[in-house]
Amino acid sequence: MTEEQQTVPQEDIGTVVSVRGKLVKVELVRGSGCKSCSLRGMCFGRNTPAVFELESDLELVPGDRVQLMIAPSTRVLTSLMVFGLPLLCLFAGYLIGSLWLAELPSIGIAFAATALSFFIMRKIDKKFGNRLQVRIGSKI
């Protein structure tokens, strides 16, 4: 193993799936952190890999491994969405429900609001997901 391969974080490695001119499709290799995360099915889906279409000037062919550079702001924003939005909806749903209803219906409203947050995240992902700051750093 070369020194460069030792310093590359495993979570940021992808495999080139296809190349069309400068447009490169890269499949993200799940990192070791995904195996222990209880929400591993939410980020990519259980049986579907994360595939990014990125532009690159590197000479790449399908099967090449590349380092993906993911902006820290992108990591923070997606983490806040995945973990913060459902929690915010849970508490907001309960507080709003408890203003007019008893405790049990308020809990139901809280869970419904949490379920709604996943629908909202899906819509946000479809609309803004292609604007994430991900680029190919180097070929490994």
Q: CA–CA separation, 28 vs 26, rounded Å?
A: 6
Q: CA–CA separation, 41 vs 48, rounded Å?
A: 9
Task: Give me the amino acid identity at 34.
Answer: C
**φ/ψ of residue 136, rounded to 5:** -85, 120
Q: CA–CA separation, 140 vs 12, rounded Å?
A: 11
**φ/ψ of residue 21, rounded to 5:** 65, -120
pLDDT given for residue 58 in this prediction? 80
Mean pLDDT of the region 80-98: 92
| pLDDT band, residue 130 (cuts 50/70/90) | low
Beta strands per DSSP E along 1-133: 13-20, 23-28, 51-55, 65-70
Which residues in 69-91 are b (16+ Cβ under 10 Å) and which e? ebeeeeeeebeeeeeebbeebbe
| In the chain, where the domains are located | 3-139
pLDDT given for residue 31 in this prediction? 57
What is the pTM (predicted TM-score) of this model? 0.59
pLDDT value at 133 more than 50: yes
| pLDDT band, residue 3 (cuts 50/70/90) | very low
pLDDT given for residue 28 in this prediction? 77
